[in-house]
Structure 1
Amino acid sequence: MWENDLTRVLNINYPIIQAPMAGGPTTSELVAAVSNAGGLGMIGAGYLRPDQLRNQICEIRRLTDKPFGVNLFVPNRYTADEGKLQTANTLLQPIREELQVEEEPVHPTFEQDIKTFQDQLNIIMEEKIPICSFTFGIPSPQIIMKLKELSIVLIGTATTVKEAVLNENAGMDAVVVQGVEAGGHRGTFYGKDSESLIGLMSLIPQVADVIRLPLIAAGGIMDGRGIMAAKFLGAIGVQMGTAFLLCEESGANNLHKEAIMKATEDQVVLTRAFSGKMARGLHNSFIEKMKNYEEVLPDYPLQNELTKAIRKTSATKGTTGHMSLWSGQSPRLAKKLTVRDLMNKIIFETERLHPKL
């Protein structure tokens, strides 16, 4: 009933992918539960050390014999602008003092990021992971060739038609079409962030008319209605983040989950304040304090490291005021369920809307 080109290439029952949310939500239990329920569980490996990635792969294999994948952040060259770093530290110091933050930030380097990325790729190849997806860019032709030689399915991310074309030309097997409604970081890698803020309903058909890759819709999809809308517009699969972030198996902080459950659609905003890269999350006091300074903040990942201890301390103290509460634009549709119950709910709703799917 649900079989299509995407389910066949991914070897799954339902074209439902759990978004690879980096930073803690994608626990081994969450990834395995999604795969066991017939979808595709994904490790958000963006912030994992290579040894952590290998350990999580081993954990998941003890919990499921179904396919699952790994998502990586493609490193982009950046430089440490001392003026912006000083400005950011000046702005952040009162917040550090207010929260009594003791941890000092450690500035990353592009060279370190490249090494970590390569080490992660090596693990994916050594462990024979069947699916690998990429955010923030497209890996080199050499990397793509190596992964394809091992029959690893490659999934790119696009926030514009141009980015989708670049993914197809690079040899991706499918592409996630990320609408502006999506929670967390924007996957934009070509052009300005401000030029990529396209709604999912507008983006899917425009991409579908230009490229031939299987399209996976992402951004605000929480139930069967969203899946059917994406299907009619030209997508044959969906990637859902916020819906799975609320699940019992998710590693997201309970403060984060509760904040989404209480939120309304007009409280979900785009901000560069936490990381230096455009991302969507719930408005809070940190975003409000920093909203007039976003253009003078350091680029990702430098700003991300400068705020890391602030976010961590805020969570430890039980307050959401300075946490990055990533969320898609449909928080009113959020439900706290187990993965199994969520998948059953989504499948029932979709089949009820279109029994002959």
Structure 2
Amino acid sequence: MTKANWPDGRIQELFGIALPLIQAPMAGVVTPQMVIAVSEAGGLGSLPCAMLSLDQTREALDIIRQGTSRPINLNFFCHRPPQTDAARELAWRARLAPYYVEQGLDPEAPVPASNRRPFDSAFCALVEEYKPQVVSFHFGLPEQAWLDRVKAAGAKVIASATTVAEARWLEAHGCDAIIAMGFEAGGHRGNFLTDDMATQVGTIALVPQVADAVKVPVIAAGGIADARGIVAAFALGASAVQMGTAYLFCPEARLAPPHLQALRTAADDGTAITNVFTGRPARGIVNRLMRDLGLMSPLAPAFPLAGGPLAPLRNPSAPAGPGDFMSLWSGQAARLGRELPAGELTQRLASEALAKLSRG
């Protein structure tokens, strides 16, 4: 499976990978073992760092570098730390109080802090130390001085765009490739120039418009989980695909049992965009909390503060419960998922896509 077999080899050339397949960086779910397996299979394994401390990130990177010398991607969030809003946080705690009582918990007890860390100078120094081949950003880009340091360390920079305007902005600010993130994608939306979820664009409409609007290669993401989606992405003008939900079924994923069970039974119309788990729009499988509070609750504190008060509610249900209070992140194509090791899945997806392309 050489670069010449694919309709567009720019991403393979840019990143130094054999296959134009990128495992999405899913915070809290991706393990070093998954990154190793995907990279060793010829794709681009991605380590999400937003929920890791510096020490945890370093530990994960040490494991990865012991397991593979092939290109990897480090992913970071670029959100601004929220301003404290005591009244809003109290209102959120009050709305969740009945669930605490239902589970025999004290509604007034202290709750853990949410731990989504934005890219900063310490993370930047870590990039300079480990020199990953690719660094990706979500929610825009970091400040220019840090971005310059990332590039000086030899990394190619990519970031998510949910609109053509965001794609143009990312190219103008130095991205080497653009992830065109369709509305079908699971997890947090990558939007940063707009907060309007009603006007977000689907993958099949977004990818060709982004490809026409920018000169850098485009990576299609959102609702792609099998060879048919990969072939379609190339037909639309993409140079590679990024897949997340497809990798949630792999044994290397660190997934709570309720989450995996929800994925196994997910319907095509079983997901929705919600802000109730973190305070920021994200796509997940609809559960009790989303139905009770409404998908986009005005009470939810700013990202990521909504998540802290939910942590005590998740713990009792996590081992075997229905996941009523968990974020069950998933894209719209979960039904296409296959329970295969990450490396085998990567190679099968590539082989199956090439077979379809050759029949062309």
TM band (smaller chain): over 0.9
Q: Is the 8 A contact 1:270 1:278 kept in 2?
A: yes
Deviation at 1:101, TM superposition (A): 4.7
Question: Could you say which structure has the higher helix fraction?
Answer: 1
Give the counterpart of 2:93 among 89, 99, 108.
89
Kept in 1: contact 2:77–2:117 (CA 8 A): no
Q: Determine whether 1:105 maps to 2:111.
A: yes
- Gaps of at least 5 residues in structure 2 are none
Post-superposition Cα deviations, 1:79-113, rounded to whole Å, max 9, x if no partner, equal: 2222221111011112123234577324569xx95
Contact 1:75 1:117 in 2 (8 A): no
1:310 CA displacement: 2.4
What residue ranges of structure 1 are gaps of 5+ in the alignment?
A: none
Tell me how far apart the structure 1 counterparts of residues 260 and 114 of structure 2 sit (CA, whole Å): 29
The answer to whether the 8 A contact 1:184-1:326 is kept is yes
Determine which of 336, 340, 348 is the counterpart of 1:345. Answer: 348
Shift of 1:356: 7.5
Alignment length, in residue pairs?
353
Distance 2:322 2:86 in 1: 31
Give me the whole-angstrom Cα distance separating, in 2, the residues matched to 1:263 and 1:311. 20
Q: Deviations over 1:112-167 (max 9, x none)?
A: 956x7322221111111221100012111111111111211111111111111110
Question: With structure 1 as the length reference, what TM-score do the two structures score?
Answer: 0.93
Q: Secondary structure at the match of 1:265?
A: coil
Is 1:304 the counterpart of 2:307? The answer is yes
Q: Which moved more, 1:188-197 or 1:226-235?
A: 188-197
- State whether residues 189 and 281 of structure 2, in contact with CA within 8 Å, keep that contact through their aligned partners in structure 1: yes
Match of 1:47 among 38, 51, 57: 51
Provide the residue aligned with 2:253 in structure 1. 250
Q: 1:278 aligns with which of 274, 277, 281?
A: 281
Residue 190 of structure 1 aligns to a residue whose secondary structure is coil
Say whether residues 1:17 and 2:22 are aligned partners.
Answer: yes
Tell me whether 1:205 sits opposite 2:208 in the alignment: yes
Is the 2:27–2:51 Cα contact (8 Å) retained in structure 1?
yes
What is the match of residue 8 of structure 1? 13
The 1:106/1:321 distance shift into structure 2, 3 A limit, reads closer
Aligned Cα RMSD in Å? 2.0
Residue 66 of structure 1 pairs with residue 92 of structure 2: no
1:32 aligns with 2:40: no
Whether the aligned pair in 1 keeps the contact of 2:258 and 2:320 (CA below 8 Å) is no
Aligned partner of 2:179 in structure 1 is 176
Please, which of 239, 242, 263 is the counterpart of residue 239 of structure 1? 242
| Kept after mapping to 1: 8 A contact 2:25/2:48 | yes
Identity of aligned residues (%): 35
Q: Tell me the alpha carbon deviations over residues 248-301 of structure 1, each in whole angstroms, 9 at most, x when there is no partner.
A: 111122321121111101111111111111010111111111117702221111
- Name the aligned partner's letter for residue 58 of structure 1: D
Tell me which stretches of 4 or more aligned residues in structure 1 moved more than 6 Å.
Answer: none
- For 2:278 and 2:112, locate their aligned partners in 1 and report how far apart those are by CA, in whole Å: 14
Letter in 2 for 1:133: S
Q: Could you say which residue in structure 2 is the equivalent of 1:319?
A: 322
Normalised to the residue count of structure 2, the TM-score between the two structures is 0.93
Q: Which amino acid aligns with 2:48?
A: G
Q: 1:168 touches 1:211 (CA, 8 Å); kept in 2?
A: yes
